[in-house]
Amino acid sequence: MRLRFNLVLGLLLAAIVIIAGVFAAWIAPYHPIIDADLMNSEMPPSWEHWMGTDGQGRDVFSRVLYGAQVSLTVGLVSQLINSCIGTALGVSAGYFGGWWDDLVNGLTNVMLAIPSLVFALAIMAVLGPGLPSLLIALGLTNWSWTCRIARSSTLSLKNQGFVQAAKVAGFGDGNIMRTQILPNIIGPVLVMATLGIGGAVLAEAALSFLGVGIRPPQPSWGNMLTDARELLRAAPWAAVFPGLAIFITVLGFNLLGDGMRDLLDPHMRTRRA
Amino acid sequence: MSTPLLEIRDLTVHFPLPKPFLFGSTRVLKAVQGVSLTLNEGECLSIVGESGCGKSTTALSVMGLQEPTSGEILFKGKPLTGPNAPTRKERARIAQMVFQDPYASLNPRQTVGRILAAQLALHDIAHGSEASHRVADMLSRVGLTPDHADRYPHEFSGGQRQRIGIARALMLDPKILVLDEPVSALDVSIQAQIINLLMDLQETLGLSYIMISHDLSVVEHVSDRVAVMYFGRVVEEGDWHSIFSRPTHPYTRRLIGSVPDPDAILSGDRGLPDAAEIPRNARFSPDVSRKPDPHENVEPSQLVSIGATHRVRLAQ
């Protein structure tokens, strides 16, 4: 069954990445920064170094594990910020309409017109590199699609009988948005958020690759790729494994989002007999 | 004469239409034009007419879901519209609504119990087990069973969903129930069940109904009085007997003629033009092949009494 396959594989991949990140300190055989063995640099994968060593003799496996921490934090936190901004703006714009809707629409269009990576780059340039500025930069630049989806879903819901019935029953607008509209649009929003986690992981990698994200020597998949770029021929494993980690993370969260959407479909949910 | 339960005075609702590209003036859709109706306690007033005639807009105005352009709506002499209108919460105790589409009128993410009980908590009528007790009570009253409260709306058929919709509307013990095409989305066999349920409830709870319908065969069974609307105006109004035995306005006659009759001879009929295109003083033409002629320009007359409770508009 397609539903189970998506969900299980997505959950599995996401779980691997999450476990890797959370337990990096216990799993990693070497320290990602201090254990630099210049005598053993650019070593291919072996029993001692499962993913080989990089140009400075650091264990790639350990660095990939610690890199997962950065990627997950950036992915989850920035998407949480994006989803909150997008949903709040989209639902209120769709529900109230009028000048507020025009304003939010205009803002969304501006955000969509600016490439989000370029915008994030600009914010990073102002805030300086580092994890907190990464979270802010990626959290403020990728809410426009969520906003659009939340708005259009709200528009189609707000004239339906059950929303009107809630108004007629005397519920306030805030209550209606929270109890009537939000539960019915959470599916698409969640899917957007989960897909966005993959996007944010990629964006973090790109920003770190460009040198404005996570500062070396702290490992992130992006700056590992930067380091590995120069020795792509001599030590391809130093680039392949962080790349593979990015691939697995993005694929995992995308499948998870897909599976979650199917699961959240109310028609799939029946009363437990 | 005592104050009627609900009085609609000269209600007018206009919708601005989107402007044509670049040039051209803003057009206005006059959905409801000067409708005056009264609803007495314990009676069922039906508003009939084809889609676009303003009957639903009138109902939405009564419910406070549509702000009237002008005119007023009074409940027991107190205004429901304008600056002294009651809040949404206060209004909820006065009038409730049953919606047309039973599939869109229940939140798919809430159990039936929650759909029914939420308003009790909001209005501080009942909480916790007292609320579930009332929910169970109401469910049996509308012909469902108390254990249905734990289920989600998609587990019910159209007719059962409409029963839930009726139960929801009755939870706050309102005085007026506005029924917006309550059975038009249902099978004919289910229609009769719901109509019977509504009639029973009216009798036992002493409710007053405003029923919106395009189907006179439904209206015939429940109404005490009938108002026929045509392009935003009431063209004929009267008690059940006068409307069905002596339909006077040509439009009413055509409506009654449109009730399916197994012996009828089929004839070609054409639809009516877009409501926004109809000139203000359009007249109804008994000749269905003729469009309303704007050049005749006859001012619509007032409703004229032609019986004790029977009124008809002459010019339109």
Residue B53 lies in a domain: yes
Please work out, in degrees rounded to the nearest 5, the angle formed at the alpha carbon of residue B295 by the alpha carbons of B292 and B301.
Answer: 70
In a mutational test of the B interface, the residue from A168, A268, A269, A271 whose CB has the highest number of chain B CBs within 10 Å is: A168
- The structure's pTM equals 0.81
Interface of A with B in 238-267 (CB under 8 A): 266-267
**Of the candidates A165, A171, A271, which has its C-beta nearest B150's C-beta?**
A271
Least confident window among A170-174, A208-212, B181-185, B259-263: B259-263
A162 to chain B: nearest residue by CA? Answer: B105
Long-range contacts of A205-209 (CB under 8 A, 24+ apart): A205/A71, A205/A242, A205/A246, A206/A117, A207/A117, A207/A120, A207/A121, A207/A124, A207/A134, A207/A137
Q: Do you find a cis peptide bond into B300, omega within 30 degrees of 0? A: no
The pLDDT confidence band at residue B281, using thresholds 50, 70 and 90, is very low
Look at residue B314 and tell me whether its pLDDT is greater than 80: no
Model confidence at B11, pLDDT cuts 50, 70, 90, reads very high
Q: Give the number of beta-carbon pairs within 8 Å between A and B.
A: 84
> What's the total number of domains in chain B?
1
- Nearest by CB to residue A170, choosing from B100, B119, B151, is B119
Q: Which residue has the tokens 């009639």?
A: B199
CB A104 within 8 A of CB A162: no
Element (H, E) at A108: helix A98-113
Distance, in Å, from the CA atom of B61 to the CA atom of B7, rounded to the nearest integer, reads 12
Q: Which residues in chain A show pLDDT less than 50?
A: 270-273
**Would you call B151 and A184 a contact, using CB atoms and an 8 Å cutoff?**
no
Buried (b) or exposed (e) across B248-262, using 16+ Cβ within 10 A? bbbbbebbbeeeeee
pLDDT at A28: 79
Q: How far is CA A95 from CA A59, A106, B119, in A?
A: 53, 16, 21
Q: What is the CATH code of the structural domain delimited by A2-22+58-267? A: 1.10.3720.10
Instruction: Indicate the SS3 state at residue B242.
Output: helix
Write the CATH number for B275: 3.40.50.300
In a domain, B21, yes or no: yes
In a domain, B49, yes or no: yes
CB count, 10 Å around CB of B156? 19
Per-domain residue ranges for chain A? 2-22+58-267
- pLDDT band of residue B54 (cuts 50, 70, 90) is confident
Q: What is the ipTM of this complex?
A: 0.82
Residue A272 touches chain B, beta carbons under 8 Å: no
Per-residue confidence (pLDDT) for residue B34, from 0 to 100: 87
**Residues A190 and A261: beta-carbon distance below 8 Å:** yes
How close, in Å, is residue B120 to chain A by CA atoms? 9
Which chain B residues are within 8 Å of A162, Cβ to Cβ? 104-107, 115
Length of chain A: 273
pLDDT score of A109: 94
Q: Is position B90 within any domain? A: no
Q: Compare B278 and B43 and report the one with higher pLDDT.
A: B43
pLDDT range class, residue B139, cuts 50, 70, 90: very high
Residue B66: closest CA among chain A residues belongs to which residue?
A: A164
The whole-angstrom separation of Cα B102 and Cα B162 is: 5
Q: How far apart are CA A64 and CA A237, in angstroms?
A: 12
Antiparallel, parallel or unpaired: β B28-39 and B78-79? unpaired
Locate the chain B residue with the closest alpha carbon to A175.
B122
- Do the domain assignments include residue B97? no
Chain A residues touching residue B171 (CB < 8 angstroms)? 169
